[in-house]
Structure 1
Amino acid sequence: MNQRSLFCDVGLAERIERVERDLIEISARAAHRRTGDGRGFVIPVAGGLASFAADDSPFNKVVGLGFGGVPTAKELTEIEDAYAGCGAPVQVELPHLADPEIGMLLTDRGYRLESFENVLGIAIEDRYDATAPDGIVIRPSGDDEFESWLEVMADAVATPDTQGVAWREEFPRDVYLAAERDAAAADIARYVAIRDDSIAGGAGLRTAEGIAQFAGAGTAPAHRRHGIQSALLSARLADAAAAGCDVGVITTQPASKSQQNAQRSGFDLLYTRAVLVKHPPSHRG
């Protein structure tokens, strides 16, 4: 089957960013319930939101900007003060298809461009062959083995992708595990790959507004290069098609092995997010 190319216009980018915004909000609110310390916040801003979930959380960011107007100086000051009150930088993930005035505004306020990340997408076909290679079984993963799924995913993250541009964020294992537990509140379907009678890999899938978010995938080091990632992808594509999704998305670092693998699997580069950061006044960097 020839995979049709996917073109990303502003409307599609807005839909993808809106779904990402909702995922971050749900996960952040789950973190607030978990910690119960009253420090977290979710602040709506110009169609997006500013989120502080917990100390060092990957959900501490401003997302979804660019398609709902330009933030006012008052709104940005409120957000910057909120992050400063938590001793955290303001990290804005701004799509290159967003209103360009926002980038200029943030630069004028002292934000610094620190990195990029790529959003890749695939036009989901009507059906997929989800047959796994011999010796591998892909199946849904229930709450009864959530902890085992988490450990496999954490082990995979501990051996990072070293190809391409280095990832600017690295999270300790306990922070990663807490974030995955928080993200479970966003109705992410979990999958495991079984090989040699053990959990060899795992992955996640979230569907909303016709968008299938491929929410991470990992293979334990001892089971790599046996087709597990491809099998997990095929299973999730089949389920995304069955759920009526028309677009699948994945986020990678530029020129990374993950991006290379996604493009080999039929994903197209849709757009890039610029990561713009403003540190609190007391930060020494």
Structure 2
Amino acid sequence: MDADRLPLFCDTALAQRIERVEAQLIAQGSEAAHRRRADTAGFVFPFAGGVASFAEEDSPLNKVAGLGFGGVPSATDLDEVERAFSARKSPVQIELAHLADPTIGALLTGRGYRLTSFENVLGLRLTGERERVMPTGITVRPSGDDEFEPWLDVVAEGFASPDAQGVPSHEEFPREVIARAVRDLTAAAGVVRRVALRDGVIVGGASFRMAEGVAQLTGATTAPAHRRRGVQTALLSSRLADVAAAGCDVAVVTTQPGSKSQQNAQRQGFDLLYTRAILVKEA
């Protein structure tokens, strides 16, 4: 990385753009879950510039995303959101960027929300061509429709066995729940898949989505037996080359604080843009 490179500065306009495309991703994945289930249990509706989403029981898509850049939610709006989640016996989980309107945090804690965790949003300015870094024995290529199930298997296996470095996530999901959510996001949200092979064997999977010039790196994982061999670096550098060539001006990735994923991203030149506070109110 160039020692003279200026870090990417994140103002509220950039944060709002990133949070807006994140809300779009969650909404589209949740709507795909509703179509798959063919029932009326789920919901997606706009909420104060973001989106409130319930996909299905215990889904990682059950949350409020993108809040904080479209005004302060009214008590009536919050009542509606809380009733919707409560009717499904689900807590309300709100992701609130620290660059959002600061009065919202005080409003939520006053209503009984508690701070449970943080997650970091990192970004990289994309200019020119990007190098694809491929350690010996590892290749990365597009994942075809004929190998969706093997790709899904390795992604679900990796997410079900998170890296132990850094602050642990406040959430854990069964493998089958992760698999359904990934399938829904891939089916409906324009997510593009990549697969990593080590000596010809599928050992990792990753994906990305492009919207409004933002390249969302929507997940990358390596099978536990093949970690610490450069697979994550290969998946990250390959996707960055792809999205830069497609004309995106910024790439973003969300990580647990202090995690191996954050370390890998910063080695590739990503800067910490902002932190999301995870606020939860039990049903």
Pick the TM interval, shorter chain: over 0.9
**After superposition, what is the alpha-carbon deviation per residue over 1:153-203, rounded to whole angstroms, capped at 9, x for unaligned?**
122123212122111001001100000011111111100112222111111
Q: Which residue of 1 aligns with 2:75?
A: 73
Which letter maps to 1:135? G
Q: Which residue of 2 aligns with 1:106?
A: 108
Q: Which residue of 2 aligns with 1:275?
A: 278
| Partner Cα separation in structure 2 for residue 15 and residue 183 of structure 1 | 20
Task: Compute the displacement of 1:132 (Å).
Answer: 2.1
The correspondence for 2:207, drawn from 182, 204, 209, is: 204
TM alignment of 1:210-221, pairs within 5 A:
210-221=213-224
Which letter maps to 1:95? A
The answer to whether the aligner puts 1:229 opposite 2:229 as a matched pair is no
The answer to whether the aligner puts 1:130 opposite 2:169 as a matched pair is no
Structure 1: unaligned runs, 5 residues or longer:
281-285
Structure 2: unaligned runs, 5 residues or longer:
none
TM alignment of 1:125-274, pairs within 5 A:
125-130=127-132, 132-184=134-186, 185-274=188-277
Which letter maps to 2:257? P
The correspondence for 1:60, drawn from 41, 59, 62, is: 62
SS at match of 1:240: helix
TM alignment of 1:1-40, pairs within 5 A:
2=2, 3-40=5-42
Q: 2:123, 2:272 within 8 Å by CA — same for their partners in 1?
A: yes
Which letter maps to 1:183? L
| Partner Cα separation in structure 1 for residue 129 and residue 34 of structure 2 | 39
**After superposition, what is the alpha-carbon deviation per residue over 1:253-273, rounded to whole angstroms, capped at 9, x for unaligned?**
111121122112211110000
Change (3 A) 1:277 1:204: same
| Partner Cα separation in structure 1 for residue 17 and residue 199 of structure 2 | 40
| Mean CA deviation greater in 150-159 or 25-34 | 150-159
SS at match of 1:64: strand
Which letter maps to 2:148? F
Which letter maps to 1:80? E
Change (3 A) 1:251 1:140: same
| Mean CA deviation greater in 17-26 or 193-202 | 193-202
- After superposition, the CA RMSD in angstroms is 1.2
SS at match of 1:168: coil
TM-score, structure 1 normalization:
0.95
**Equivalent pairs, count:** 280
| Partner Cα separation in structure 1 for residue 144 and residue 190 of structure 2 | 12
| Partner Cα separation in structure 1 for residue 22 and residue 70 of structure 2 | 15
**After superposition, what is the alpha-carbon deviation per residue over 1:19-40, rounded to whole angstroms, capped at 9, x for unaligned?**
0000000000000011122110
Which letter maps to 1:175? V
Q: 1:43, 1:79 within 8 Å by CA — same for their partners in 2?
A: no
Overall identity of the aligned pairs, in %: 64
Q: 1:4, 1:123 within 8 Å by CA — same for their partners in 2?
A: no
